[in-house]
Structure 1
Amino acid sequence: MYRHLEEFQRDRDMALVYQAVTLQKNELIQENIREMSKMYLDIVSEIIERGQEEGTLRRDLYLGLVKHFILGAVESTITNWLRSKRDYDLVSMADPLIDLFIRGIGNPENTGKENGQ
């Protein structure tokens, strides 16, 4: 993830072009974007599967959902960075994203207590 964010931060124009191209309806362009996304998602799959094998990630995760959750969050972070009126370090968002992916948004101390469980 660091590398992904670093590349776009290093070349803001490339990030803008990538974002614009991904929204186009041209079939040839879409095929290339699908191939790039598949490569990225395959890397994410390998990382998740390794984490599951090592016991650092839950085994009950729906892999397809997790992959798209991660890709969507990274793309959204890049889009927000591009649209921001203030200049900030895009790479600095990697650790908060990783923390969100790994720990989620719930408070484990209170999970289930609100619904009478």
Structure 2
Amino acid sequence: MKSTDKHRKIIRAATKVFAKKGFFNARISDIAKEAKVADGTIYLYFNNKFDILLSVFEQEIGKLIEHVTLLLEKEANSKTKLEIFITNHLEEMKKNRYLAEVIHIELRQTTKIIREYRKNTFNEYLKIVAAIIEQGQEDGTFRKDIQPDIVRQVVFGALDEISSNWHTDNTCPYTIEEVSAQMTSLFQTGLLAPAA
């Protein structure tokens, strides 16, 4: 009989194994060992390794979307919303280094299945940034001559680079608050509509 706890346990184990070994080098037996389950148990929950990787994104990114959406619902100001998104992403990536590594490596290197997944489900997360920019354009806070879809890619690219560096260089002298403030300031200044 399938168990929700076991499913989560396998996802957590897979995230760690993919981060350490890379998707292609990871084996189902590595994931089973990390999750402390029999190899065959993995196949009760997942069809194959790709299915596990997609589930890692589905579950973990789903949590990010849910959490940041709740935070943003409490705020009306588009500038503050951008800061909330940036800070929340940095906090989550600092907290979950394995997820940060999986996002950084696998979204760039894995096959068409993952790239297409990125265009669909992962896109939902990035659309939050575009929606913040669109709101700011509508209320006159942000410039109307910029494309929200380009901004979201630039924002995520910067966030991903910073969180990746945190995990490869443990000597980073800056706190999440300092990095968030700097990034928010840079993006907001570039996005702000000229004073009337």
Relative to the length of structure 1, the TM-score reads 0.74
Counting aligned pairs with the same residue, the percent is 32
Query: Does 1:46 pair with 2:131?
Result: yes
CA distance in 2 between partners of 1:72 and 1:20 (Å):
13
SS at structure 1 position matched to 2:109: coil
Whose helix fraction is larger, Structure 1's or Structure 2's?
Answer: 2
Pair member with larger Rg: 2
Residue aligning to 2:110:
25
Shift of 1:22: 1.4
Q: Among 77, 97, 101, which residue is 1:16 paired with? A: 101
Are the counterparts in 1 of residues 131 and 148 from structure 2 also a CA contact under 8 Å?
A: no
Distance 1:91 1:11, change over 3 A: farther
Residue aligning to 2:52:
none
Are the counterparts in 2 of residues 5 and 94 from structure 1 also a CA contact under 8 Å?
A: yes
Residue aligning to 1:62:
147
Which segments of 5 or more consecutive residues in structure 2 lack a partner in the other structure? 1-85, 191-196
Which segments of 5 or more consecutive residues in structure 1 lack a partner in the other structure? 105-117
Are the counterparts in 2 of residues 2 and 91 from structure 1 also a CA contact under 8 Å?
A: yes
* Further displaced range: 32-41 or 67-76: 32-41
CA distance in 1 between partners of 2:164 and 2:124 (Å):
20
Residue aligning to 2:181:
95
The amino acid of 1:101's aligned partner reads: F
Aligned CA RMSD, in angstroms, stands at 2.2
The amino acid of 1:82's aligned partner reads: H
CA distance in 2 between partners of 1:14 and 1:76 (Å):
14
Which digits, 9 at most, give the CA deviation of each residue in 1:1-59, with x for residues without a partner?
A: 22211111111122112222112232222222333441122111110111111111111
CA distance in 2 between partners of 1:55 and 1:40 (Å):
24
Which digits, 9 at most, give the CA deviation of each residue in 1:75-109, with x for residues without a partner?
A: 121122222141553454111111110113xxxxx
The amino acid of 1:58's aligned partner reads: R
Relative to the length of structure 2, the TM-score reads 0.47
CA distance in 1 between partners of 2:143 and 2:177 (Å):
26
SS at structure 2 position matched to 1:23: helix
SS at structure 2 position matched to 1:97: helix
Are the counterparts in 2 of residues 78 and 90 from structure 1 also a CA contact under 8 Å?
A: no
